[in-house]
């Protein structure tokens, strides 16, 4: 069986041969990968800037955006059958009893930082033909989503953000109920920074929730990413034509900014364009070189005076994955062409090391497996 592994000490990315995991034990399921997405985190790990192998191992099998098929199940496993499609959750709980988040099934809000993330931190990922897991970490996916199911894990990050946006908005007595206005063109206005997969999926989620949605990115107005944004009803704005300082003047009051670039200078410039009572969502994890200047007093003043909220969203829990499955079904009905455009290249394992180093013009490259 082949897998893609990163050797941090040797500074190598290899396609390796390894023994298949064997039959599942009690309470386990043997999974077979169908598709695994390549994302920015994978590229950071391949540049040896992030990631850690399992204890006692000299390498980490990468890959955390996965759609898989149940191969066989062990004794005592209920609710899973061979052939079922699932998406595995990435983050697993820390071992500490004092961590209320992990002890209550919300390891995405872990207090200690000692959580495990498959394919990222302390445990092998899914960029391999087969792997073992426990049913509690697997999210059922309808067969009709096989074509796009690999997008569920990155979409769950946006779903987690939306859930928190609704919670924050409840502090305003005149706020709308989140479900009532889906697709009806609310007065809410959202700006997404970046037209990568996380930004575009976030844009889809916001548009589907009824936000007037704008995608702000560096690509030109006639680029494929701009066309993709238009395919799900968003308005694309190129930063080459509209400077960030002019964004609020052009759009008016901005209720939500969904940052998906990992560029801290852009994020802090955009925070200063957020509207009154607005919410700013951070998804990017920039490299910390200690050199980025911050207009701290100005940012702090605006946050206080305008009653604004800033929060981050990262690997999500089950509820956000369930929401992602539900909304991806809606996307597939409303915008199937946009979903197809998002998946720009399908490759095999042997091509992964090169794709990690040079994404080319890809929006989202997907590793596909023979199943």
- As a whole number of angstroms, the distance between CA 176 and CA 172 comes to 9
In angstroms, how far apart are the furthest CA atoms of the chain?
Answer: 62
Is 56 a domain residue?
Answer: yes
Is 225 a domain residue?
Answer: yes
- As a whole number of angstroms, the distance between CA 310 and CA 324 comes to 22
The pLDDT of residue 174: 66
Please spell the DSSP secondary structure of 145-159, one letter per residue: GTTTGGGHHHHHHHH
- As a whole number of angstroms, the distance between CA 3 and CA 80 comes to 25
**Three-state secondary-structure class, residue 27:** coil
C-alpha dihedral, 108 to 112 to 118 to 119, nearest 10°: 110
Q: What is the CATH number of the domain that holds 305?
A: 3.40.50.720
The pLDDT of residue 294: 66
105 in the same domain as 175 = no
User: pTM for this structure?
Assistant: 0.92
How long, in residues, is the chain? 371
188 in the same domain as 218 = yes
- As a whole number of angstroms, the distance between CA 328 and CA 338 comes to 12
The pLDDT of residue 293: 64
Question: Which residue stretches of the chain have pLDDT < 50?
Answer: 178-186
Q: Cβ(201)–Cβ(154) under 8 Å? A: yes
243 in the same domain as 137 = no
112 in the same domain as 206 = no
Is 239 a domain residue?
Answer: yes
Is 119 a domain residue?
Answer: yes
Is 317 a domain residue?
Answer: no
**DSSP designation for 121:** B
Q: Cβ(277)–Cβ(189) under 8 Å? A: no
- As a whole number of angstroms, the distance between CA 3 and CA 15 comes to 6
- 3-state helix, strand, coil split of the chain in percent (to 5) is 30, 25, 45
* Alpha-helical regions (H) of 191-306: 197-208, 224-231, 247-251, 264-271, 296-305
The pLDDT of residue 299: 79
73 in the same domain as 37 = yes
How many domains are contained in the chain? 2
The pLDDT of residue 186: 46
Mean per-residue pLDDT of the chain: 92
197 in the same domain as 92 = no
**Three-state secondary-structure class, residue 224:** helix
Residue 192 backbone dihedrals phi, psi, to 5 degrees: -100, 125
106 in the same domain as 10 = yes
Is 321 a domain residue?
Answer: no
302 in the same domain as 160 = yes
136 in the same domain as 162 = no
Q: What is the CATH number of the domain that holds 362?
A: 3.90.180.10
Q: Within 13 Å, how many C-alpha atoms sit on residue 356's CB side? A: 25
Is 328 a domain residue?
Answer: no
- As a whole number of angstroms, the distance between CA 35 and CA 85 comes to 11
Q: Where does a domain end: 272, 297, 312?
A: 312
- As a whole number of angstroms, the distance between CA 351 and CA 359 comes to 11
- As a whole number of angstroms, the distance between CA 72 and CA 151 comes to 24
Residue 38 backbone dihedrals phi, psi, to 5 degrees: -100, 130
Domain that holds residue 25: 2-141+344-368
Is 55 a domain residue?
Answer: yes
Any residues with CB less than 8 A from the CB of 300 and at least 6 apart, and which? none
User: Which among 110, 234, 89 is positioned nearest to 156, based on CA atoms?
Assistant: 89
190 in the same domain as 114 = no
The residues with which 73 forms a beta bridge, in sequence order, are 29
290 in the same domain as 161 = yes
11 in the same domain as 82 = yes
């Amino acid at each position: 069986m082949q897998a893609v592994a990163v050797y941090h000490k040797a500074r190598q990315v290899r396609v390796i041969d390894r023994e298949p995991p064997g039959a599942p034990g009690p309470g386990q399921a043997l999974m077979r990968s169908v598709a695994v997405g390549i994302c920015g985190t994978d590229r950071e790990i391949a540049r040896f800037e992030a990631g850690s192998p399992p204890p006692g191992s000299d390498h980490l099998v990468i890959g955390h955006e996965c759609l898989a098929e149940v191969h066989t199940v062990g004794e005592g496993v209920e609710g899973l059958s061979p052939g079922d499609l699932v998406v595995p959750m990435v983050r697993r709980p820390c071992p500490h009893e004092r961590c209320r988040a992990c002890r209550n099934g919300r390891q995405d809000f872990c207090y200690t930082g000692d959580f495990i993330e498959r394919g990222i931190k302390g445990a092998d990922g899914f960029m391999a033909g087969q792997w073992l897991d426990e049913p509690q970490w697997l999210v059922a996916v309808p067969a009709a989503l096989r074509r796009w199911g690999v997008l569920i894990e990155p979409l769950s990050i946006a779903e987690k953000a939306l859930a928190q946006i609704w919670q924050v908005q409840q502090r305003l007595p005149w706020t709308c109920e989140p479900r009532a206005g889906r697709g009806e063109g609310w007065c809410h206005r959202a700006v997404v920074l970046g037209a990568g997969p996380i930004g575009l999926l976030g844009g889809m989620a916001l548009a589907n929730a009824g936000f007037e949605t704008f995608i702000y990115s560096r690509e030109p107005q006639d680029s494929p990413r701009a066309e993709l944004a238009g395919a799900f009803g968003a308005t694309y704005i190129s930063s080459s034509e509209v400077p960030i300082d002019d964004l609020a003047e052009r759009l008016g009051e901005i209720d939500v900014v969904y940052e998906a670039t990992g560029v801290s200078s852009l994020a802090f410039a955009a925070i200063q364009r957020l509207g009154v009572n607005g919410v700013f969502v951070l998804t990017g994890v920039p490299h910390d070189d200690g050199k980025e200047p911050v207009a701290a007093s100005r940012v702090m003043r605006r946050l206080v005076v305008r009653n604004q909220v800033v929060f981050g969203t990262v690997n999500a829990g089950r509820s956000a994955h369930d929401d992602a499955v539900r909304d991806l079904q809606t996307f597939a009905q409303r915008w199937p062409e946009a979903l197809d455009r998002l998946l720009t290249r399908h490759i095999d394992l042997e091509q992964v090391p090169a794709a990690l180093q040079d994404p080319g013009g890809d929006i989202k490259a997907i590793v596909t497996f023979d199943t």
